[in-house]
Chain A
């Protein structure tokens, strides 16, 4: 994973407009959050391989970044994205990692199921 290049990610978002895509969207504080610190609320959620299509989308912010995708019937929104996989030409793989390198949030788009 590399630090997000906003221009390149925007280009990739543009290239996927209007196509049927599989999305993986996830956010997690980790299964051990409250075990390690009882003041923390453990929360995690993911949806994998939901089929979506978006008509417009952009990446915003100065890093960590936000991505918003306007879908046929609503929105996909993700905040806290720091990294992307620039070697993956087919899929758009983005994630947000905290200062310890742990994944907090992920947004992934692909023409094929994950």
Chain B
């Protein structure tokens, strides 16, 4: 059955390493994917090597990179929500939650993918995940979409255990690498591959599985 998947992440490029293959896979299966990106990564430190962006031009450059990444993955419904990088944890929570709720009401996703609050290192990641589970947690239990969360803090496995969702995305490494490449101000994609191809076992092992924890509301 076709499902609608709603991805909510704070920064352009948050999708690239952990989720691009999964999104491509869902799309291939005929599912719908909406990607809501809270900010334009205005405060990113990477300006390209050598720097071709600056603090002033970075948001517009990253917006284009995000659009290109979505194109590479196949995502056609991209929502840029206009929040400011580094400020998610300080935003008016009611406002943030209402923006997320209106997306959920509009799209009725069966699955929402975000960051696991408390285990995602960057304060924006944690605050984004927190807003998502706070908003969904307020819905009646039978109306709640499933939440799959990415996490990468050092204590993740110690506390949350092994991820329960593993997506084999080896068939979608082309899309995933193109997504990473699209974010050229942020990543040096050429260095990741070196002289290896996408069929290389080392590349497949490194990028071929995307892992998530199902968020438990109880």
Contact = CB atoms under 8 A, between A and B. Distances in A.
B18 to A, nearest CB: 14
B10 to A, nearest CB: 11
Given A85-B54, A95-B54, A101 B46 contact: yes
Contacts of A32: 121-122
Given A31-B122, A32-B122, A35-B153, A1 B43 contact: no
B79 interface: no
Interface residues of B, number: 21
Interface residues of A, number: 25
B216 interface: no
Given A35-B153, A35-B154, A103-B47, A26 B121 contact: no
B52 interface: yes
Contacts of A46: 43, 86
B45 A30 contact: yes
28 contacts: A1-B50, A1-B51, A26-B55, A28-B43, A28-B45, A31-B121, A32-B121, A35-B153, A35-B154, A44-B86, A46-B43, A46-B86, A83-B51, A85-B54, A85-B56, A91-B56, A93-B55, A95-B47, A95-B51, A95-B54, A97-B47, A101-B47, A103-B45, A103-B46, A103-B47, A106-B55, A108-B56, A114-B55
Interface of A: 1, 24, 26, 28, 30-32, 35, 44, 46, 83, 85, 88, 91, 93, 95, 97, 100-104, 106, 108, 114
